[in-house]
């Protein structure tokens, strides 16, 4: 018997991978029918399926199919607002969740003065196509075959391969006592491959993610990881300091995540983060230049390449937005309460980490050729913020770092820890390439490679 046969779970019938709209509606109707107290009630239902295959050291380590269900009971009475989460969908489980919510309301004294409620929500929900039958049809056997193909280039070259392939489907839905009925289904797929020298002398990585499995080429990812591993063998130590950097798209996406954490009005107006205006307490930097004028950061929920549901976790409709346009901060996210109170609007501008960044026409090869001395960076890892106002952050390079001298890559370099701000980096640009999707399964990104000057590396790290 093959290892894959031992690891394969019981088959999940495709029709049962996730709940249909009708199944979600039926669950919500039963739960809403159990509510006896005053106020409003919303029932959230998420249903998900994931099938994966994972390998390490050129051997399959895990193959699984998993399903998960979450039920949310959100009750509001007066000033009280409670939320209970459960996993059972039978009558007894739903009744227990509803009763738990009622008990929380009673503990908060919900019969207080009734607050002024927000007006009925305005706005429409986009309808992006985020479903791929190719994704849901990838069986355990096929995922195992993909893993085998991804291991082959490393095994043939005498290297170790590790990684995973995962596909899935997910439903997000909300049903309310006021007639609210939201339902969104989407698929996800991803593949990550790491190749390492068996002596620990080099490492290469490549990954891709999309709602559509057909958009991912595992063989190409495996070959790229192998090539990077071989090219990064026997790295040398160079002095820390400020370097011109050529960042591959994945490295750009890794740093951009730090900026996306702060795209909100309330934090900025409370003096927090890089978009608070220190010269005007209580105000943001909206309307001010914050990065190089070649940079736009935008999001469109109708763009399938950005692959997010048409509404956020609170059921607010996602909206197309340009966060930054020609280097100027043009929008910050806000909730519906802020919109009603401060903007005379009745629809939120939800935040999202899915984003497109504009680019240029310079290739990575051209960036390298125009660099007298610098570093080519594959990606960053372990990134964390040190100072909110400046967005000074730290992290380290991973899976391939090379020295550039006189327009050519001359040698692999030992990994560095960096201490710098991605805001400063985006104000120090020399060149931009064509945007492309990068490995960001939770919130897709489409970003370019770039060249920037004076990026600060503070010390060597013992990692490959």
Candidates 3.30.2290.10, 3.30.420.310, 3.40.640.10, 3.40.630.30; correct CATH number of 3-223? 3.30.2290.10
Rounded CA separation 351/332 (Å): 8
**CA angle 398-401-406, nearest 5°?**
165
pLDDT at position 309: 86
b/e per residue 245-268 (b: at least 16 CB within 10 A): bbbbbbbbbbbbbbbbebbbbebb
> Is pTM, for the whole model, over 0.85?
yes
Three-state secondary structure string covering 333-384: EECHHHHHHHCCCCCCECCCCCEEECCCCCCHHHHHHCCCEEEEEEEEEEEE
Would you state the pLDDT for residue 110? 62
Structural domain boundaries in the chain: 3-223, 235-464
Cβ contact 52:166 at 8 Å: yes
Could you give the CA distance from residue 186 to residue 47 in angstroms, rounded to a whole number?
A: 11
Q: Say what the pLDDT of residue 37 is.
A: 82
Q: Are 50 and 179 in contact (CB under 8 A)?
A: no
pLDDT at 119: 63
Burial class (CB in 10 A: 0-12, 13-18, 19+), 214: exposed
Q: Which residues on neighbouring strands pair with residue 167, listed in sequence order?
A: 51, 189
Partner residues linked to 186 by β-bridges: 170
- The 3-state secondary structure of the chain reads CCHHHHHCCCCCCHHHCCCCHHHHHHHHHHHHCCCCCCCEEEEEEEEEEEEEEEEECCEEEEEEEEEEEEEEEEEEECCEEEEEEECCCCHHHHHHHHHHHHHHHHHCCCCCCCCCCCCCCCCCCCCCCCCCHHHHCCCHHHHHHHHHHHHHHHHHCCCEEEEEEEEEEEEEEEEECCCCEEEEEEEEEEEEEEEECCCCCCEEEEEEEECCHHHCCHHHHHHHHHHHHHHCCCCECCCCEEEEEEECHHHHHHHHHHHHCCCEHHHHHCCCCCCECCCCCCCECCCCECCCCCCCEEECCCCHHHCCCCECCCCCECCCEEEEECCEECCCEECHHHHHHHCCCCCCECCCCCEEECCCCCCHHHHHHCCCEEEEEEEEEEEEEEECCCCEEEEEEEEEEEEEECCEEEEEECCEEEEECHHHHCCCEEEECCCEECCCCCCCEEECCEEEEEEEEEEECCCC
Q: Please, what are the averages of pLDDT over each run of 10 residues along the chain (464 residues)?
A: 34 62 96 91 95 96 93 88 94 96 84 55 71 93 94 95 96 93 93 94 95 95 97 95 98 97 96 96 97 97 87 87 98 93 90 94 98 98 96 96 98 97 98 96 93 97 76
């Amino acid at each position: 018997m093959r290892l894959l046969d031992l690891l394969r779970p019981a088959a999940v019938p495709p029709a049962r991978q996730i709940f249909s709209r009708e199944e979600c509606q039926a669950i919500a109707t039963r739960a809403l029918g159990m509510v006896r107290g005053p106020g409003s009630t919303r029932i959230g239902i998420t249903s998900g399926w994931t099938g994966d295959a994972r390998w390490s050291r050129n051997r399959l380590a895990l193959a699984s199919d998993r399903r998960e269900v979450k039920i949310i009971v959100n009750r509001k009475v007066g000033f009280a607002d409670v939320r209970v989460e459960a996993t059972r969908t039978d009558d007894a489980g739903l009744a227990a969740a509803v009763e738990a919510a009622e008990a929380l309301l009673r503990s908060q004294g919900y019969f207080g003065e009734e607050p002024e409620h927000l007006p009925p929500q305005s706005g429409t929900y986009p309808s992006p196509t985020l479903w791929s039958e190719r994704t849901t049809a990838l069986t355990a056997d096929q995922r195992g075959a993909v893993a085998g193909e991804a291991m082959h280039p490393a095994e043939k070259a005498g290297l170790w391969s590790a990684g995973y392939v995962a596909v899935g489907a997910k439903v997000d839905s909300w049903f309310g006592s006021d007639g609210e009925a939201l339902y969104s289904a989407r698929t996800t797929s991803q593949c990550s491959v790491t190749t390492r020298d068996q002596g620990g002398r080099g490492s290469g990585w490549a990954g891709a993610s999309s709602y559509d499995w057909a958009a991912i080429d595992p063989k190409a990812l495996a070959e790229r990881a192998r090539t990077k591993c071989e090219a990064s063998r026997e790295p040398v130590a160079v002095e820390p300091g400020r370097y011109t950097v050529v960042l591959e798209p994945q490295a750009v996406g890794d740093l951009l995540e730090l900026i996306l954490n702060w795209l909100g009005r309330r934090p900025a107006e409370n003096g927090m983060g890089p978009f608070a205006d220190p010269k005007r307490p209580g105000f943001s930097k909206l309307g001010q230049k914050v990065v190089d004028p070649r940079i736009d950061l935008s999001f469109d929920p109708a763009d399938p390449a950005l692959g997010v549901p048409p509404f956020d976790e609170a059921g607010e409709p996602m909206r197309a937005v340009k966060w930054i346009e020609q280097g100027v901060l043009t929008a910050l996210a806000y909730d519906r309460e802020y919109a009603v109170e401060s903007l005379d609007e009745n629809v939120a501008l939800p935040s999202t980490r899915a984003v497109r960044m504009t680019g240029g026409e310079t290739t990575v090869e051209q960036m390298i050729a125009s660099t007298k001395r610098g570093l080519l960076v594959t990606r960053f890892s372990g990134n964390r913020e040190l100072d909110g106002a400046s967005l000074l952050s730290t992290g380290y390079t991973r899976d391939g770092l090379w020295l550039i001298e006189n327009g050519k890559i001359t040698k692999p370099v030992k990994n560095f820890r960096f201490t710098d701000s991605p805001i400063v980096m985006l104000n120090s640009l020399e060149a931009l390439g064509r945007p492309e999707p990068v490995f960001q399964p939770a919130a897709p990104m489409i970003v370019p490679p770039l060249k920037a000057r004076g990026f600060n590396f503070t010390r060597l790290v013992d990692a490959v």
